[in-house]
Amino acid sequence: MQKCINCNINLSNITNSEEHILPHSIGWKTAVTGIFCKECNEKFGKSIDHAMFENFRFPATVLNVYRENDRNIPGMRLYSKTSSDYIWLLPGGSIKRASPIQKISDNIWRLYAETKEQLNKLVNSFIKKKSDVKIEEIENDQSILAPEDYHTTEIKWFTGNSDVLKSLIKSAMVFYLQKENIPQFIEKIPALLAGINAGGKAYPIVFKQLNPEPITAHSVYHTIYLIGSLQNKMLASIIELFSTYRYFILLNNNYPGLDLCVSHSQNCITGQEYTLTKTYRIEDFRNDVNLSIEERSMGFQKEIRPLKKLLNNIILNKLLNKKLDFELFDIPKGTEITQEIIDKIDAAQDFTRSENRSFDTLNRGSV
């Protein structure tokens, strides 16, 4: 009988559960069974897989990534720099005010709606609660209005914290067990998942894009490779998220098995899946070990550029013909978003001028 590889409980119809190779929350489609029990799966879902989603919520939200049989990707809050106010970044990249009701002063409130009908409804429900106030009615709200001091919050392009790296270790294990189903080649599984130093390692790497397709609004991929080397006695996995974030995951440093290289790639927008034909060897990733933190950081700036450009453009296209009432990336407040503006930003993004922006930070860590 199969056992949960984390807690060793026998897997039955009741205790067995479906495990996604990469978390479903960031758009991975394929699930496998017979690896974790329901309880362990739920525990990881709430902890390390949730950390994974939080870390990649920005690309997942803007790209509105593909998820089967599930709720939409939740929006994310962009907080004001000066107060606790926020606006919503919704799936697909559109931006919405947090509330259609804005308090201007003690007795003046401003209500926003897209149509007269919606506005009447809003006004009626509002005056039921507050009868002694003056209401400014704003119809056909074209601006993405926000209070004067709004700015978008800085979006961090983090590669992840230790929980994210643990979730990646789990993904690599699950992928390995799906392909090979020889648990003893992954040593000390529960210890690795608990983050105890058990010979396993995961860290971000600087490497060329694994899925060779250029990043566009229709092609952004999650890709996972599993590489075993008899000569180097290593079993490792390379995971690439959103065609941009790459990680090296060491599963066994004393691997007694045969050479192998298998891959799986999935379009996070369409859900289309396939196996890549390119094969890698452990040696292909060896150069990365000698890079300094500065070199890694610079490499990361370069790697994120195409994805950053795509996400910026998706957001800007949603804002076409609207006036920006807050600063978005490099565009000043009050700018009307025209196609010309979008093209200008598009061209400017090919240069390195925004390299020193604060959202380009690399959070290097390993477990």
Q: Which of the residues 248 through 267 are near Zn ion (CB under 5 A)?
A: none
Taking the complex as a whole, how short is the minimal distance between the CB of residue 163 and Zn ion, in angstroms?
18
And the tokens for 150?
């709004």
Residue 283 burial class via C-beta count within 10 angstroms: exposed 0-12, middle 13-18, buried 19 and up:
exposed
> Of 1-9, 90-98, 184-192, 302-310, which part binds Zn ion (CB under 5 A)?
1-9
Taking the complex as a whole, how short is the minimal distance between the CB of residue 317 and Zn ion, in angstroms?
45
Taking the complex as a whole, how short is the minimal distance between the CB of residue 264 and Zn ion, in angstroms?
24
And the tokens for 86?
């926020």
Please say which residue, 6 or 237, places its beta carbon nearer to Zn ion.
Answer: 6
Secondary structure (3-state) at 249: strand
Residue among 145, 146, 141 nearest 80 (CA): 146
Please say which residue, 21 or 189, places its beta carbon nearer to Zn ion.
Answer: 189
CA–CA distance, 253 with 247 (Å, rounded to integer):
17
Q: Which of the residues 3 through 62 are near Zn ion (CB under 5 A)?
A: 4, 6-7, 37, 40
Q: Does 174 bind Zn ion (CB under 5 A)?
A: no
H-helix or E-strand spanning residue 135: strand 134-138
Please say which residue, 40 or 89, places its beta carbon nearer to Zn ion.
Answer: 40
CA–CA distance, 127 with 109 (Å, rounded to integer):
11
Please say which residue, 44 or 242, places its beta carbon nearer to Zn ion.
Answer: 44
Secondary structure (3-state) at 239: strand
Taking the complex as a whole, how short is the minimal distance between the CB of residue 19 and Zn ion, in angstroms?
11
What's at 118, amino acid-wise? Q
- CA 189-364-62 angle, to 5 degrees, is 95
Please say which residue, 7 or 194, places its beta carbon nearer to Zn ion.
Answer: 7
Taking the complex as a whole, how short is the minimal distance between the CB of residue 7 and Zn ion, in angstroms?
3
Q: Does 182 bind Zn ion (CB under 5 A)?
A: no
Please say which residue, 6 or 229, places its beta carbon nearer to Zn ion.
Answer: 6
CA–CA distance, 94 with 314 (Å, rounded to integer):
8
Q: Which of the residues 122 through 161 are near Zn ion (CB under 5 A)?
A: none
Residues that bind Zn ion (CB under 5 A): 4, 6-7, 37, 40
